[in-house]
Amino acid sequence: MNRPIRIAATCALLAAACSCRAPGPTGPSVDARMAARDFPSVFQAWNRAENVGPEDKWTNVARHDLIWHAPGFFGLRWDKHPAGLAEGFTPKSIRNGLAIRKKLLGLNPNLIVIAEIRYRDAGKRFLPAGHPWWRRDKAGQIVKGWAEGRFLQLDFSSPAFRRHVAARASAAVRSGVFDGVLLDWWSEDWDRLQLVKAIRRAIGPRALILVNTNQRIEDVTAPYVNGWFMECTQSRTAKDWRRIERAARWAQTHLRRPRVVCVETWSHTSRKDLHLMRATTALALTHCDGYCLFGDPNPLPTPDHLHDWYPFWDARLGRPLGQGARNKDGTVRREFDYGTVVYNPMGNGPVTVTFPEPRTSAASGKTTTAHLVNCPDGDLFLRSSPR
């Protein structure tokens, strides 16, 4: 782990949180872990950070402060075959999952663990070939999940299937392994609204529901969900970045508490587009209390959301001291315990940022009173002691 300072700094707060609630296998509450975490916070969407050498799988996960994946990634096994028919897990696999969760929270006490629950599409072996829960076109043919993928679509317009999905989400939360569930491919229609209502009833008021909204503002389902996975597929124009900014800010003030805003953009040329990584990180830090990720574009033939781990993410900012504010120079700034975050959006032009005392740039490592921030870009300007 490259973040021992972060983890050590939160132990006392987490211990206090644990002492105020009944002990259990799932550890401190989501609220306690979110309140204890340091910034910047990075999330893992399914797939790992690749540039960190041959480190242990769970150490790699624990670099992040939030992860979602299929239940099987965490050792759970559905108790029926095909797996899409199941509404529970085998007891042995639940024990395995709880052991993995315990290990992860030992490595990073702030980690939030989420199960993806499939409702829109799945692999061909998810259900029997002729099952009515496969979605069919007017000719009766099963619909492909997406153009380049091998998955097939599921018929979430079926009330019976929606009840089934809700039962699967409930099983994930009741296992004690997960803090909530993720629903991919989200948009606001009547069927999805009924689905998220059913899931909220099934998992109760405290477990998390995250949905993938891309960079759209989805206000109808907001009262039922805690978080947005902002898989921002478009980030090549200033208009794209403004749309991301608006959605992140809206989510931070309108979603169900506790609010979990996950902002991901993709590289344009390679993972070495460091200015875009820094801009994404700074946007997430100044517009919400969320999590960030800079990953590979989905159209690549490799698994989606693979990414590098950047030393920039190891900077220690502590907790925010207020909200982000737009300045006359076009940047957005936000103060934290150990420094100032500056986000310079696309289309604004380079800006020189000055401080009354020397600050260390997380981007360049230079310590001085004046720093140049290009656009689109961002930086973390660290002070030697907390404010």
pTM value is 0.93
Q: What value does the mean pLDDT take over residues 212-229?
A: 97
Percent share of the chain, pLDDT over 90? 90
Cis amide leading into 303 (omega within 30) = no
Residue range 4-120+156-314 forms a domain whose CATH class is alpha beta
Structure tokens of 137? 């076109």
Lowest mean pLDDT across 25-29, 196-200, 292-296, 328-332: 25-29
Give the chain's end-to-end CA distance (angstroms, integer).
27
Task: Evaluate if residue 380 carries a pLDDT over 60.
Answer: yes
For 164-184, write each residue's pLDDT tens digit.
Answer: 999 999 999 999 999 999 999
Question: What is the pLDDT at residue 149?
Answer: 67
Angle at 209 between CA 42 and CA 103, to 5 degrees: 50
Which helix or strand (DSSP H or E) is residue 359 part of? strand 351-361
Measure the CA–CA gap between 165 and 186, rounded to whole angstroms: 15
pLDDT category of residue 384 using cuts at 50, 70 and 90: confident
Structure tokens of 266? 């993709």
For 328-364, write each residue's pLDDT tens digit.
Answer: 999 999 999 999 999 999 999 999 999 999 999 999 9
Task: Evaluate if residue 82 carries a pLDDT over 70.
Answer: yes
Among residues 153, 136, 135, the alpha carbon closest in space to that of 144 is found at 153
Distance of CA 194 to the CA centre of its chain: 24
For 83-114, write each residue's pLDDT tens digit.
Answer: 999 999 999 999 999 999 999 999 999 999 99
Structure tokens of 226? 């805690």
What does the mean pLDDT of the chain come to? 93
pLDDT category of residue 26 using cuts at 50, 70 and 90: low
Identify each DSSP E strand in 46-107 by its residue range: 66-69
At 103, the amino acid letter reads: K
**Per-domain residue ranges of the chain:** 4-120+156-314, 318-387
Which helix or strand (DSSP H or E) is residue 172 part of? helix 159-174
Distances (CA, A) of 67 to 60, 84, 177, 307: 11, 22, 12, 13
Measure the CA–CA gap between 373 and 352, rounded to whole angstroms: 6
Measure the CA–CA gap between 382 and 387, rounded to whole angstroms: 11
Which phi and psi angles does 385 have, rounded to 5°? -140, 160
pLDDT category of residue 19 using cuts at 50, 70 and 90: very low
Task: Evaluate if residue 22 carries a pLDDT over 90.
Answer: no
Whether the CB-CB separation of 176 and 94 falls below 8 Å is answered with: yes
Task: Evaluate if residue 284 carries a pLDDT over 90.
Answer: yes
Task: Evaluate if residue 16 carries a pLDDT over 70.
Answer: no
Whether the CB-CB separation of 18 and 28 falls below 8 Å is answered with: yes
Residue range 318-387 forms a domain whose CATH class is mainly beta
pLDDT category of residue 23 using cuts at 50, 70 and 90: very low
